[in-house]
Amino acid sequence: MNWLFAWSHLGHTFVGIMSATLRETFAPTDRTRLRRGAKRGCFDEKRIFAILDEALVCHVAFLRGQQPVLLPMAYARDGHDLLLHGSAKNGMLGALCDGSKVAVSVTLLDGLVFARSHFHHSMNYRSVVVFGRPRAVTGVEEKRRALGRLVDRLARGRSSQSRPPSCAELAATLVVALEIEDVSAKIREGGPVDSAEDVKLPYWAGVVPVSLSSREALAADDLADRATALGAVSAVVGQQKLASTG
C-alpha cells in the first residue's frame, strides 16, 4: 500500500509517496475469543497464515444431521480460502456443501515440556481454529487451479512436474473451498512454569524440541529413470524445507 503525504516548510509545500506494509489482524469474535489462556491467543493474519501454510493435515468438524463428524484431511490455503478435496461420491464431504457451518483445526507440535510436577507438564504448539461456510468449486478452471495448489502443498512446483487431471478425473473429484470467516491461533512457547516451591526438587525440567521432517525419498518400483526423478523431487522438497525455516 502506498501513502500520499504532504508537508510545508518555509512557505513551500512538498508532496511525497511512502510505501507501507500494514500488519493486518483478524477481529476477535464470540467464536474465536479465548477465555482461558488468553495471553496465548493470536489474531495476526501473517502468523496465522504461516501456521496454516506449514501444516499438512487439518481436522474438519461439522454436523451431518444430528451426528457430529470429524474428518482428517489434506488441505491448501488460497488467500482467505482453505481448499479441501475428495471423491465426488463421498457423502460426508458432499454434506459440507449444504450451507452448514464448519470448524477446521490445525496443530503443529513444537516441543514436549517437562516440569517438576505432574500438573505443569505441557507441550509447545502452534494451533489455528477456523470457522466458515464451505462451497463446492464447480468451475473447470477454478477446479484445476485448486487441485494444482493441493499438489503443490506436497512440494513447491510439483504441479508442473506431474500430469494435470483429465476431464474424467475432474468429474470424479469434489473440491471444496472454505472461506475463512472467523479465525484465531493459540501458541505456547518457552519452558515449564513450575511452582516456586517445586524449583528445588531433584527432577529434570526443560523442553524436548519436536518437529516434522521428511526422510530420504523412496522411488516407485516401476519408475524408469529413478535417479533423475529422485533428484528433481529431492531438490524441490529441500528448497521447500529451507524456505519454511528461513
Domains of the chain: 25-213 (2.30.110.10)
What is the distance between the terminal CA atoms of the chain, rounded to a whole angstrom?
25
Tell me: pLDDT of 94 over 90. Answer: no
Q: How far apart are CA 170 and CA 140, in angstroms?
A: 8
Closest CA to 75 of 153, 15, 21: 153
pLDDT-derived band at 37 (thresholds 50, 70, 90) equals low
DSSP letters of 171-230?
HTEEEEEEE--EEEEEEE-SS----GGGTTSSS--EEEE-----------TT-SSHHHHH
Amino acid at 60: V
Q: How far apart are CA 133 and CA 172, in angstroms?
A: 23
Cα angle vertex 105, ends 103, 108, to 5°? 175
**pLDDT averaged over every residue in the chain:** 82
Tell me: pLDDT of 97 over 70. Answer: yes
CB 176 within 8 A of CB 136: yes
The SS3 assignment for 168 reads helix
Structure-model confidence comparison of residues 11 and 237, the more confident one: 237
Cell 494451533, located at residue: 127
Closest CA to 128 of 76, 65, 187, 185: 185
pLDDT-derived band at 229 (thresholds 50, 70, 90) equals low
pLDDT-derived band at 236 (thresholds 50, 70, 90) equals low
CB 114 within 8 A of CB 48: no
92 contact partners, CB below 8 Å, separation of at least 6: 64, 69, 71
Structure-model confidence comparison of residues 236 and 106, the more confident one: 106
- What φ, ψ does residue 66 adopt, rounded to 5°? -105, 5
Grid cell listed for 13: 509545500
Cell 479465548, located at residue: 34
Query: In the chain, what percentage of residues exceed pLDDT 70?
Result: 78
pLDDT-derived band at 214 (thresholds 50, 70, 90) equals confident
Q: How far apart are CA 219 and CA 230, in angstroms?
A: 7
The SS3 assignment for 69 reads strand
